[in-house]
Amino acid sequence: MAELQKLKARALANGNIGDAEVRFICRELYADCRIDKEVVELLIAIRDEALSVCLMFEQFLFDAVKHHVLTDGAIDAEEAFWLRQRLFANGNLGKREKKLLWDLKHEVLGVSREFQQLYDEYM
């Protein structure tokens, strides 16, 4: 966890996440070969704390979310709650967030009632 916090501090050094910061983040994370819940939480924290993030970072974050959530082929109630709390809490979904929701729904074998409610609420 301490290493992830160092990565976060270094990525946010100037407050903005541009292409160079994304390349740095990817290089560090892929060196460890891990994109788990802890890493996804780190990426969400970086997005939330940054003054601005580039499109490449958003795509990397959303790909990491999909990788994490879709690992078992279904989206259960706990994952739906996590998505609602961590990604969609402000209720302001732009087109990229809506695309993420659509992708999640259509790339999975099954969804819980809770995820379906989340999907229906925003789509």
In the predicted model, what is the mean pLDDT of residues 80-96? 87
Helix/strand/coil for 15: coil
Each domain of the chain, given as residue ranges in start order, spans 1-54, 70-123
φ/ψ of residue 85, rounded to 5:
-75, -40
In the predicted model, what is the mean pLDDT of residues 50-62? 96
Q: What is the pLDDT of residue 1?
A: 54
What string of DSSP letters covers 35-49? --HHHHHHHHHHHHH
Residue 2 has pLDDT above 70, yes or no: no
- The model scores a pTM over 0.85: yes
Q: Based on C-alpha coordinates, what's the Rg of the chain?
A: 15
pLDDT tens digits for 107-121? 998 999 999 999 999
